[in-house]
Amino acid sequence: MSLEIFDRLESEVRGYCRMFPDLFERAAGARLYTHDGREYLDFFSGAGALSYGHNHPRIQRALIDYLEAGGVTHALDMSTVAKRDFIRTFEAVILQPRGLDYKVQFPGPTGTNAVEAALKLARKVTGRSNVLCFTNGYHGMTLGALAVTGNSTNRAAAGVALGNTVAMPFDGYFGHGIDTLEYLETYLQDASSGLDKPAAAILETVQAEGGVHPASWDWLRRLAVLLAKHRILLIVDDIQAGCGRTGPFFSFEPAGIVPDIVCLSKSISGYGLPMALVLMRRELDCWKPGEHNGTFRGFNLAFVGARAALDFWRGEELQKAVEAAAEIVRRRLALIHRRYTEACGPPRGRGLLQGIPCTPAEVAGRVSRAAFERGLVVETCGAEEQVVKLLPPLTIDEPSLEMGLEILDTAFSDVLGADGEAGGSRSAAGPSPKGSPPEDGA
Ligand code: PMP
> Where is average pLDDT lowest: 192-196, 202-206, 409-413, 417-421?
417-421
Nearest CA to ligand 1 atom 10: 139
**How far, in Å, from the CA of 45 to the mean position of ligand 1?**
14
The residue to mutate among 16, 110, 136, 139, having the most atoms of ligand 1 within 8 angstroms of its beta carbon, is 139
- Do the beta carbons of residue 201 and residue 261 sit within 8 Å? no
Q: What is the pLDDT of residue 435?
A: 36
Percent of the chain at pLDDT exceeding 70:
95
> Tell me, what amino acid is at 102?
Y
| Band of pLDDT at residue 2, cut at 50, 70 and 90 | confident
How far is CA 429 from each of CA 248, 318, 336, 409, 425, rounded to the nearest angstrom?
Answer: 38, 36, 16, 11, 10
- The structure's pTM equals 0.95
**How far, in Å, from the CA of 428 to the mean position of ligand 1?**
39
DSSP 358: B
Q: Which three-class secondary structure state does DSSP give residue 119?
A: helix
Q: What is the pLDDT of residues 300-321, one digit of tens each?
A: 999 999 999 999 999 999 999 9
Q: Which three-class secondary structure state does DSSP give residue 17?
A: helix
- Do the beta carbons of residue 62 and residue 305 sit within 8 Å? yes
Q: Which three-class secondary structure state does DSSP give residue 12?
A: coil
The residue to mutate among 209, 252, 269, having the most atoms of ligand 1 within 8 angstroms of its beta carbon, is 209
What's the gap between Cα 309 and its chain centre?
A: 17
| Residue 101: closest CA among 295, 364, 320, 281 | 281
- Do the beta carbons of residue 385 and residue 357 sit within 8 Å? no
Q: Which three-class secondary structure state does DSSP give residue 67?
A: helix
Nearest CA to ligand 1 atom 1: 139
Q: What is the CA radius of gyration of the chain?
A: 22
Half-sphere exposure of 436 (CA within 13 A, CB side): 7
The residue to mutate among 245, 246, 265, having the most atoms of ligand 1 within 8 angstroms of its beta carbon, is 265
Percent of the chain at pLDDT exceeding 90:
94
Entry field: residues in the chain:
442
